[in-house]
Amino acid sequence: MTTIDWDSAADSFDEEPDHGLLDPVVRQAWAQRLESWLPGERSDVLDLGCGTGSLALLVTGQGHRVTAVDRSPRMVEQARSKLAGTGSEVLVGDAARPPVGKQQFDVIMVRHVVWLLPDPAAALRHWFGLLRPGGRLLMIEGVWGGVGLSAAQLTGLLAPFTERIHHERLSDDPDLWGKHVDDDRYALLARAEPPHRHSEIVDVHLILRRGPDVLLARRAGTGYADGLFNGPSGHVEDGEDVREAMIREAAEEIGVELDPDELRVALVMQHRGPGGAPRTGWFFEAEYDPARPPYNREPEKCSELAWFPLDSLPDDIVAYCRAALDGYRSGERFLIHWHEDGDTVAYQPHSIRRAVPLPSGGAGTGGVHHIELWVPDLAAAEAGWGWLLGELGHVPYQSWERGRSWRRGGSYLVIEQSADLTAGPHDRLRPGLNHLAFHVRDRATLDALVARAPDHGWRLLFPDRHPYAGGQGHCAAYLEDAAGFEVELVVR
């Protein structure tokens, strides 16, 4: 580590309220941030738009080798004086195309530079070419008085090069600026992926169920999809498996300590964001426990938690989260969700659906392909069956003049008013179909369905023995429609 005499160095500082770092509190705040952003081992750091070299001096003080570049000869002269004896090299040059030849670096650091560049995308492309595999691009930017680059804009510019982007809001730390500030100041730390092998970020997502409802969190202050709902989620970290990552993220984001046996795999989805690289998401399902209510543990990243019915999700939601929940509701197990570059991150109700279900092959020989019911009145059957199947997670599948179908997973159910239908009502007590039985998640969901069923043409059978008409320990409801078809809804 290099020992720095700050009293002697102070003589060469300009009147720079943020860059001078003469205030020991400000200086210590920046030193701590840099220590968290930079590698722990000795690294080669390229400081672009270095000014008088104040941050470069902190970096050398932490044991790193610094090459600093600024287009102002006066700034370079002061930086050379300030960095004398540290082994640093200070060059006159353009930050967008620094005069370092083919030299590569572990870290490139820029502060309040990107927003001034005439072609920031071209500069980013060049900078990533100067980084070693796994290197870091540290950018400190903001919006002041309506000018500058927002975190969302800069994240979008980074999307073609990496999706490993860490965002930190800096406005809320007055020690960094020597005062309280009201504008938007932040840091983005982007990682250069090794180019020799394809790799994907692995996400984990929690579908926390409270009866028919699911918990969503509104993003805020992250620089990505802020203002939109998303499920509690995060990335798998080194050394973790997906279940361990989900348990950690649930504790960190919503304060819920989950046991491994509480988690069930609901869905796996490969996803590509607009202009980004693909990633794989594991969606886990868990039940709400009143003894462990969720709460917002990260108010700097989340503005609210809210419960929504799974069949009535909000429109202001991240598109791939909505696709996953729709797929989960319809019984899909594997999905591909591939954005086009012109798509929005937000869900668009009337846009082209990007989700493609992948058959799992789980049914195999002997699995149910479909069930077909012949009905005397298609319109009445569509109203009743359409409501019930929709509540149970089936989605509309086929529609033709005399029939309709709804699909869930690899099977589907058909109702048809066939021209070959013979006279006479359906009688479930005669040989043939007696009833269809469906799983229901819990007692609360069952009670809600039974309460609404009469409004959709279904009546409760055996009301005096409900919900144990099938025997003690068998919690279920038996419903019949006007055509005489019976369904049994069985609580798991």
Q: Hey, do 201-357 and 370-491 end up sharing a CATH topology, with the first three levels equal?
A: no
Q: What is the CATH number of domain 6-191?
A: 3.40.50.150
Name 122's Cβ contacts closer than 8 Å, sequence gap at least 6. Answer: 96
With tokens 């691009």, the residue in question is 137
CB distance 245 to 366 below 8 Å: no
CA 383, 388, 393, 398 torsion: positive or negative? negative
Running along the chain, 492 residues long, what does each successive block of 10 average in pLDDT? 42 40 88 94 95 93 95 94 94 95 95 93 94 93 90 91 89 91 93 69 94 92 92 94 97 96 94 90 93 95 95 93 91 90 89 82 71 95 94 86 86 92 87 92 90 96 95 93 94 81
DSSP 408: E
Q: Name the token pair of 165.
A: 């982007």
Out of 3.30.360.10, 1.10.3720.10, 3.90.79.10, 3.90.660.10, the CATH code matching 201-357 is 3.90.79.10
76 vs 382: CA distance, rounded Å: 77
CA 245, 248, 252, 257 torsion: positive or negative? positive
Could you give the C-alpha distances from 270 to 122, 213, 229, 346, in angstroms and in order? 29, 25, 20, 17
258 vs 262: CA distance, rounded Å: 6
220 vs 243: CA distance, rounded Å: 26
CB distance 158 to 124 below 8 Å: yes
463 vs 339: CA distance, rounded Å: 50
415 vs 487: CA distance, rounded Å: 14
- Residue 395: per-residue pLDDT: 80
Q: Name the token pair of 224.
A: 């990505």
* DSSP assignment string, 445-467: HHHHHHHHGGGGTEEESSGGGTT
Instruction: Please give the single-letter amino acid code of residue 177.
Output: W
Q: Name the token pair of 379.
A: 């319109």
Q: Where are the domains of the chain?
A: 6-191, 201-357, 370-491
127 vs 160: CA distance, rounded Å: 13
Predicted structure pTM score: 0.47
- Residue 247: per-residue pLDDT: 97
Q: Name the token pair of 384.
A: 């009743």
391 vs 211: CA distance, rounded Å: 12
- Residue 2: per-residue pLDDT: 44
For domain 370-491, the CATH class is alpha beta
* DSSP assignment string, 349-404: TTSPP-EEE-----S-TT---EEEEE-S-HHHHHHHHHHHHHHTT-EEEEEETTEE
Residue 128 φ then ψ, to 5°: -65, -30
- Residue 48: per-residue pLDDT: 96
Nearest to 488 by CA among 428, 405, 431, 430: 428
Q: Name the token pair of 307.
A: 């419960």
Q: How many CB atoms lie within 10 A of CB 140?
A: 23
